[in-house]
Structure 1
Amino acid sequence: MNLGLLETTLNSTEAVVEFCQERSLLPTSVACPKCQTHCQLKKREQVKDGFAWRCRNSRCRSWISLRHGTFFMASKLTIKVIIKLIYLWAFEMATENNVRRECGISSSHTITDWKNFLRDVCLDYLRRHPRQIGGPGHTVEIDESVFNRRKHNVGRLVEPIWVFGGYDPAEKEGFLVTVPNRNAETLLPIIKKYILPGTTVVSDCWRAYNRVGSEGFSHLTVNHSLHFVDPITKATTNHVERMWKEAKQRNKRECGTNRELLETYLSEFMWRQKFGHNPFVSIINQIAEGYPVGKELLSTSSENPLLPTLPLQSVENLPVELKINIDCSLPPFKHY
């Protein structure tokens, strides 16, 4: 679906509601929160969405917002504009100029908040579907790389952020984890958490990897001071090095990344590696999964911790349980 076809599909308020109901973004029926009577979806010109739920009980007759308890609940944008913004983000076209032109959003803060929020949807999905990579007969290359450092050692001092990662070239799967340091006590538990026993692990000669072979893995090394591919074992870390290059490309395009948001950008990178072949359908399906709607009206006290925290605030203000920490970092991605 291209942007023109999406615009044609969403050519009326009725079409927007139908589009969202078919994809489980809006409920097809709700119960009145006051009297539990089944509600009817009716046109209502006073609201931006053009529709609202009306209680059938003659003694109640309450109006309930179309978007109450849904992904769209706390936003002031129309549902049509939100869908178009999601489309632009999915296909990496959500520059500020594009969003202003296509969606009519004038606020830079609103655009930034929505992009932050969609990265949180990626993170939420990846954390709900964790998995290990590798296994017997598989090779996983591991390496660490520094993010957010001074260029040419010029400018103010900044604390470097280290990211540890692994990549299975056969399955095109990998993982990225921020780490406080690169010692064995930090890296070995992460290796055991994300890589299946029996995997052949390939690394450089960094001393923190010396005990990998005694942790249930076969261990091969490559000495980068001599060659990139070991002439005897053919071991190489070229694939994981390429992963670093791809992960850092966005940083270069944007002239850097907010340190506090780095882990959410890593989650977006892994999400795009896994779902980049069909990003719009994938993100819509995952929003529906993360924000379930059913026959009963959802309340804002839903068990889904994301529900009350829609993108009218920046990611720094998200509840603590939504932020990634070092102990529960990002699960593997799949590269298509």
Structure 2
Amino acid sequence: MLLSSTSAHKGRPQRHTIVQPSELRPVEAIANLPELTSRNIADFIGNIDGTEESDEAALRFLATYGLVPNERECPECLNGKMSLVKDNALPLHFVWRCSSCKTSNIITKKMIRENTFFQEQKLSVQKIVHIAADWVESPGRNNERTASLHGVTTSTIVNLNKLFRQLTEQWFERQIEKNSNFLLGGPGKIVEIDESHMYKAKYNRGHMLRRKSIWIFGMTERHTNKVAMFRVKQRDAATLLPIIRAHVKPGSMIVSDERKDFKENMLIKLELLIRYALFCRLQLCGEIVDEGD
């Protein structure tokens, strides 16, 4: 168990990592957890009750997917790795400390959340991740309702949602730049296409009616996880055909379907992609740029 082997008391082994290196996973692996939803995310990251058990689960989850560093080098003595030490007075109940500095009567420590997205946030990491998952799954819910569900102020939700949007948009923009020649399909392969209206208010009610309509044109390669999404201003042939020609290989069979199950499958893949994009950017928090609303 993590808690039993990290305290750096005399006679106890020091722990230099949160999880074993063999347990580390790339952040994109989060998108491959289809069972992970806002309803059961506590099973992965712990409850928001602040108990040691919940904080241990959160710490392991964040370290496993690179959302907090799994290990730290001492910035003072440059003599090796810092040790993970229990401290119940701190969030997540742990802190990084350098045992080499301690022998010289120098106290060197780093907070678990230091230099991560969570550093400047006052909420617990569990609550932030709960709100992030909710943002991915329920984009049409108004801020007041979301704030009530999570027991925080509306301004907190507004600020977090703004950050989530910035992070996700930055990821998509970089991916488009990196993968301008990204191709789907090929001879004998099926590429499904559809358009989805994002942030649409249900029953013509809610604040979303005052926002611009956002149409997403999606293409997915059947029987694979390959998917491409494009924000489009129009849904006419003059807009969509050039995108298809640029990103679908010759010889592909293109299917456009209005069936409910097809649309649900496309939206599920879009949700996974947004989740992936958001967590990728949470990992690279140092590159956040305030680009406005």
- Aligned residue type for 2:292: N
Partner residue in 2 for 1:177: 230
Distance 2:143 2:62 in 1: 25
Count of residue correspondences: 234
Structure 1 segment 1-336 matched on structure 2, within 5 A: 2=40, 5=43, 6-7=46-47, 11-12=51-52, 13-37=55-79, 38-44=81-87, 47-56=90-99, 57=101, 58=104, 60-89=106-135, 92=138, 100=147, 103-105=150-152, 107-118=153-164, 124=171, 128=175, 131-140=182-191, 164-166=217-219, 175-179=228-232, 187-201=240-254, 237-239=256-258, 270-272=269-271, 274=272, 287=279, 290=281, 304=284, 306-309=285-288, 316-317=291-292
Task: Compare CA radii of gyration and give the structure with the larger one.
Answer: 1
Distance 1:126 1:3 in 2: 28
Q: Secondary structure at the match of 1:25?
A: coil
Residue ranges of structure 1 left out of the alignment (5+ in a row): 152-157, 203-236, 248-265, 293-303, 319-336
* Amino-acid identity (%): 25
> Do the aligned partners of 2:167 and 2:282 also contact (CA within 8 Å) in 1?
no
Distance 2:142 2:238 in 1: 41
Distance 2:147 2:112 in 1: 25
- Taking structure 1 as the reference length, the TM-score comes to 0.49
Q: Secondary structure at the match of 1:53?
A: strand
Relative distance call for 1:81 and 1:169 in structure 2 (3 A) is closer
1 or 2 for the larger relative contact order (CA 8 Å, sep ≥6)?
A: 1
Relative distance call for 1:193 and 1:117 in structure 2 (3 A) is farther
- Taking structure 2 as the reference length, the TM-score comes to 0.54
* CA positional deviation for 1:51: 2.8
Distance 2:138 2:198 in 1: 22
Q: Secondary structure at the match of 1:111?
A: helix
> Do the aligned partners of 1:134 and 1:199 also contact (CA within 8 Å) in 2?
yes
Residue ranges of structure 2 left out of the alignment (5+ in a row): 1-35, 205-210
